[in-house]
Amino acid sequence: MANIPEPDEIDDEDWFRDKLVYEIGRILNGADVRHEILLGFGLDIGVFVFHQDRTACKFLEVKTSSPSKGRVGMGDRAGEGTQVDLLLREDDSLRQLRSVIMWILGDSSRRTGEQRYAFFDCIEAKASAYGGVELTKQNNLNATKLLKRGLTWEELSDSLGRFLLT
């Protein structure tokens, strides 16, 4: 089944999140998997995939980068919030979350069809934070570092599928 069309504009995080929700639904419906998608469930997107004897819980944090914003913030200006609390955990704990939590970054300065997406885990998010992750300061991701392994929309969709269905 074909992907939903790649979004033209991805500078608005909520709009980009909504496009990702449509793509997630397409992936899971195409795999004929029962599921529920919840927004703002701790992280931006919570996906519950129902198997016969278990429920898999998957969470996605969505970020956008644009020249007009100049930064990719995490948490609030006081250095608080779910994202910061999460990334303050020890790396061993974050490694255990690789099958449960992933992050998606879309770079609006790159054109449709280009490798303008990053799909990364909490360890990579923590490592890409300018000056490390700390309480009491505005925390920001280094989009340039994360996009060194940029993905096209199709590659992002494939990565999402593998994450959601395993």
Residues 13-46: tens digit of each pLDDT: 999 999 999 999 999 999 999 999 999 878 999 9
Confidence (pLDDT) at 144 = 93
Domain borders along the chain are 13-165
Find out whether 39 and 96 touch, Cβ atoms under 8 Å.
no
Mean pLDDT over 48-68 rounds to 92
Backbone angles phi, psi at 25, to 5 degrees: -60, -40
User: What CA–CA distances, in Å, run from 15 to 42, 155, 156?
Assistant: 18, 20, 17
SS3 content of the chain, % helix, strand, coil (to 5): 35, 30, 40
Pairing status of strand 72-74 against strand 55-65: unpaired
What DSSP string runs through 83-127? Answer: HHHHHTS-HHHHHHTTTTEEEEEEETTSPTTSS-EEEE-HHHHHH
In terms of Cβ atoms closer than 10 Å to its own Cβ (0-12, 13-18, 19+), residue 11 is middle
Give the list of residues 6+ apart from residue 113 with CB closer than 8 angstroms, or none.
6, 152, 153
Whether this prediction's pTM lies above 0.85 is answered by yes
pLDDT tens per residue across span 83-140: 999 999 999 999 999 999 999 999 999 999 999 999 999 999 999 999 999 988 889 9
**Which of the listed CATH numbers 1.20.1050, 1.10.3470, 3.40.1350, 3.40.50 matches domain 13-165?**
3.40.1350
- Residue reference for tokens 């703002």: 40
Token reading at 50: 């129902």
